[in-house]
Amino acid sequence: MCGIAGCICGKGGNAVPDVYEGLKRLEYRGYDSAGIAAVTDDGVTVVKKRGVVEKLFPHIGGMKGEIAIAHTRWATHGKPSDTNAHPHVSGGICLVHNGIIENYCELKEKLSREGETFLSETDSEVIAVLFKRNYSGSLTAALIKTVKELKGSYALMVICKEEHKIAVAKYKSPLIIGYGKDRIYCASDEPALAGKCSEISVLEDGDFALLSEDGAEIFDSRLRPVARKKQPNRAVSAELSLGGYPHYMLKELHEVPASVKNTFSAFSGVESEIVKTFSGVKRIIVTGCGTAYHAGLVGKRYFESFAGIPTDAETAGEFRYSEPVITDGTVVVAISQSGETADTVEAARLALSRGAKVVAVTNSPYSALTRLACVTVPVAAGAEICVAATKSYTGQIAALYLTALAVAGETADGERAARLADMPALCAKTIENVNVSSLAHMCAKSKGVYFMGRDLDYAVAREGSLKLKEVSYIPSEGYPAGELKHGTLALISPKTVSVVIITDKALAEKSVNAVEQVLARKGKAAVITNVDDVEDDLKGRAEIVRLPRCDKFLAPLAAAVAVQELAYRTAVKLRRNPDKPRNLAKSVTVE
């Protein structure tokens, strides 16, 4: 989940500003600590500090080197601190690492018995010590020997004073190479290289590479020279601008209409392949983590309602270990914003190994999930920098809606698809008119917030609860409205807020019952609705957030805007930073 960046340039150049800028663009991957190392006239110089990347800036002004590597950390082993920050150094060898070394305790004990000392609590320092022992004049040879002893996942960059090169290795953690003018880059993800290069190569698991100012030599897991396809770097510098907004979360919420519109446009390129892949399908399993799983709950309803195909929705981490029953005719739909979510990628691998077809729904066309899948349904949301998902969630819902229609035999120019084509304007109207300020004030003063709904509204309730937890740190849960009386009522008090989402007129009366039960226990209640009767029944007794009317199957898009706005406004009232929630990172590449 950490972000790493590297750069090597010609004589007289300075790679330090490039990797610092790359770290700033990778901060969504972790911001517990950060560090930069460069090969200078004095050897390998390292600066690393606890906290956000910006804390490095006062310390790197005079730092200059033609080779530099950098790291922004999401802590797995060892608390956030200057000492635990990367890069790690051992005997002149310096490296950065993204991933987890599962056998680091065993290796550390062995190395300690043999006289090695360790400064940090990290698993990554073990790699540096191993590398030092294996180095005898060749970075590549030492790297190959070192990774043979590792169990787990890694994207590694290694430098030393003796060689004007960067050695890299990749296994189950993302790593790309970028080809710039007079310099070569490597990084965890495309945004780090925005504006730096127009072409990238995506490394495969088991790949090694040796980077020099002249280019990149790439070897596969059998140490055979290989050429990884050069592909366009889609990251655009302008996407990373705040564009006048105070936070990325608000900016990206306002980009929801474009996310839906662009996803709709992109679908035509894969529609026929989708129909072919789902031909003869008897069962669908939708899987993902966090927000992607919540989109999958909506997708489950689409596949069953439109195509009549039995569909299960499971969190990817549980799916992997539940001994899933996969029979002939099973399609697994794997959803991930980054396409690198470790549990989701491994769930896809398991499904493939058992004979299922895998369909990816992702915002990242060069990702590990994309390379595994039989076909990828594009989520054309653009770069999403805020850790909490907004426009990628609505893009996923649009992609799943179109996929379900295609499986049902309905074309992208049919009546139901046309309703989706109207949704960008409706989402824009929702953003413009939704007013959650009063409700955000209620939530900010509460001891707990409970989101509830039925059917598709329940799926959005789960996502609304997650959003609020992520960015405001207020305890929250999402429940089916009918489950309130089966235990959750014990938590209702004047210090709690219940937010009930009601967008299906046929279920409105049932959901209003839940509101009445809350009010009877002196709990505070709010309703997010586009049903007139609900507003009439509860006006003056519950806070009302009004949504525009739309087809019930597309109401999750409008309701999503409301709950995202609510989470954002609540966080701001509590003076939280919604873009960088504590303890979290966006791209969860560890299990």
2 an active-site residue? Answer: yes
- Where are the CATH 3.60.20.10 domain residues in the chain? 3-237
Indicate the angle between helix axes 391-407 and 291-302, nearest 10 degrees. Answer: 30
User: Using CA atoms, how far apart are residues 542 and 448, in angstroms rounded to an integer?
Assistant: 17
- Bridging pattern class, strands 33-40 and 43-50: antiparallel
Confirm or reject CATH 3.40.640.10 for domain 245-421, answering yes or no: no
β-strand partners of 233:
none
Over its C-alpha atoms, the chain yields an Rg (Å, rounded) of 25
Q: Which pLDDT does position 505 carry in this prediction?
A: 93
β-strand partners of 501:
528
C-alpha to C-alpha distances, 9 to 169, 187, 236, 395, nearest whole angstrom: 20, 15, 22, 39
C-alpha to C-alpha distances, 401 to 69, 232, 271, nearest whole angstrom: 42, 29, 12
Q: Which pLDDT does position 574 carry in this prediction?
A: 98
Of 48, 132, 300, 586, which residue is the catalytic one?
Answer: 586
| pLDDT tens readout for residues 105-136 | 999 999 999 999 999 999 999 999 999 999 99
- DSSP calls for 445-494: T-SEEEEEESTHHHHHHHHHHHHHHHHH---EEEEEGGGGGGTGGGG--T
User: Using CA atoms, how far apart are residues 433 and 435, in angstroms rounded to an integer?
Assistant: 6
CATH number of 432-584: 3.40.50.10490
| pLDDT tens readout for residues 279-334 | 999 999 999 999 999 999 999 999 999 999 999 999 999 998 888 889 889 999 99
| pLDDT tens readout for residues 331-386 | 999 999 999 999 999 999 999 999 999 999 999 988 999 999 999 999 999 989 99
94 an active-site residue? Answer: no
Quote the tokens at residue 487.
Answer: 């235990």
C-alpha to C-alpha distances, 531 to 114, 132, 150, 559, nearest whole angstrom: 72, 67, 58, 12
Of 2, 186, 197, 386, which residue is the catalytic one?
Answer: 2
Phi/psi at 455 (nearest 5 deg)? Answer: 60, -125
Give residue 238's pLDDT band: very low, low, confident or very high (50, 70, 90): low
Share of the chain above pLDDT 70, in %: 98
User: Using CA atoms, how far apart are residues 126 and 112, in angstroms rounded to an integer?
Assistant: 10
- Where are the CATH 3.40.50.10490 domain residues in the chain? 245-421, 432-584
Which residues, including other chains, have CB under 8 Å from residue 291's CB and lie 6 or more apart? 337, 389, 392, 393, 396, 463, 466
Q: Which CATH architecture has domain 3-237?
A: 4-Layer Sandwich (3.60)
On whether the CB atoms of residues 5 and 186 are closer than 8 A, the answer is: yes
DSSP state letter for 255 = T
Q: What is the mean pLDDT of residues 140-157?
A: 95
